Chain A
Amino acid sequence: MTQFKQSRRNFMQTSAAAAAAFATGGVAGLGSALAARPKELNILCWEGYNSAQVLDPFRESKGATVKAESLTNDPTMINRLRAGEINVWDLINVNNPWARKIMYPEKLIKPLDRAKMEPYFEKMMPMFKPPYKWAMDDSGKELLGMCQRFGPYSFVVNTDKVSREAAEDQGWDLWNDPANSKKYGILESDDWNVFGLCCIAGFDPFKQHDDADVAKFTDAAKRVFRGAKMVGDIATMNQAMISGEIDFHLTGGTYSASPARHDGATNIRGITPKKGPMRDGLGGIAWIEVTSIVNNPDVSPLAAEFLEYVQDPKIAHTVAFAEGTFNPVAQMGSKECFDLFTKEELDAIQWDSLEEEMSRSIEYDIVPDYDKLLDIMTAAKREASGG
């Protein structure tokens, strides 16, 4: 609801702004101040970066007005830039593929000062060793963004009901077992569910799909949604797992399980399958956030400063444990940052298996026929209504 309200409001704002812009015959759009904006910073991000814990020290030290809006969906954020809000935002924080594959080619973002920023990657965990693919453009010359939060994201089980071992072995076939009907929920995050359903149907999500794949996807979508006990947000999934309403849920990982784990429910665990239908037989999918500077004609100088600010070990730790969900951060590669994490915090983000899980995962990518698969999934969800 909240999310919808927000998008509806934004939609209205955009419409009104578009109408206003049209009426004045300009293309200025929102926040069309011609003056420089040395003390103003606008961030479009996933939740966490908009928290006061992260922003307040920056606000104070710079004496700046920082506005951050959080959304829980990459395409929505990118479409807002496309719809003209490129004049509004200075930073955009989305998952890995969008910067190099979409936003940079569409000139929605601009490159960073590579010489100044790339050294930060040296201090990150080994997997981010520069030049890090998802931070670079296709040519490999331009640095497009900075990395911080990441995590494996396949599914979550209650290990009291299904052991970690069994879940990792059975992998996506957990959803192909008719005996599991009504034992699971589906976390409402539709892009990830498209990936998950592809894996359940037995093929790589991140390739062009033929008709046979689509037919298998349709079948899997109908079956999985009909068998679901319920669909809901992270809180609902964790609540239902803890109370025993469900035993496992589709698409989830450290990002979604960490709040429950941090609360002591360490039997709620993100699982990365040992094998699967992806490249090299990999079974898991992981995400890495890339934060880029928006190609705002009047971009704030604070944007680059903010990217440096969050590399600070203390701030990186704050970002990892900002309100909402808890996640590993690339900066844990430096001892100074890692030492700030308590044992409980490490346990919440499944540090024990993080490296292993990342190695079994391929990175979030763009599904070429995402729209088609999403429509099929939406219809399947609707058709399961009342079932």
Chain B
Amino acid sequence: MTATTQKQNPDAAMRSDVAVGHPKRTFKRYFRETGWRHLVGIAMSIFAAFPLLYVFSASLNPGGTLVTANSLFSNFSFESYVDLFNRPQQPYAAWFGNTLLIGGISSLGTVFLGALAAYAFSRMRFIGRRVGLLTLLLVQMFPQLLAVVAIFLLLSGISEIFPAIGLNSQIGLIMVYLGGALGVNTYLMYGFFNTVPSSIDEAAKIDGAGHARIFFTIILRLVAPILAVVGLLSFVGTTSEFVIASIVLIDPDKQTLAVGLYQFVSQEFSRNWSIFAAGAVLAAIPVMTLFLFLQKYIVGGLTAGSVK
């Protein structure tokens, strides 16, 4: 770092001496060095933030349609947020609760199943370990999405025998999501588990700790950051999952936000835009809060190889 600044320093120092008396040249230089970067920054910020401001403004415009949403921030009222919860045809509160419930349980399950498997792959040597790891890498390439027809038929077969875990059941959907738990996350966790020195396990073993105690009380605490990343990514992934949720969940009361809001928009696209906007803002709040607070961890997890 110092090298670069040194490199530019002689040049810069000379010019700044000259520049003292000439404010115009200072601005020119400022612009060439960092000013244009701010212009890019401002342009990109507008590009990035505008749709979000647009949807927020639309949500504050009660009774608004797609047309009235175009006059930004012409109205400030939270009426649409109240209306949102008083529509028996579109049970938003139920969707919201279902999304949190399904997302929460599946991400907890995913973290747990993934951690168990990663521990086995990282700390134990057994026949089939290498093959197992390679298989997981391979399975990762084929998302469950591809088998959506088979998942639908399997669940409809199950619901003829056990309606409680078949079609139109949230437990069934969670089980399907857990099926993807190992494929996506174990490899990520496996890498992190390997960074925890195994001398820690050995020390605990000498002190008389069994494998279960080592796993639950020592290892799990040391790998907490990756557990948070995997948990969060899988939560975000499940909450916006549409394909499988839309074919499994049939009753409006059981649906998730992704399915419910999509149907809401496709049924009355431009008429109730304000209510949809309010729903979108509320739905985005939990995920965005988590994201912005855990930004650092997520960036770490992303570079380790997962995509939202």
Are A and B interaction partners? Answer: no
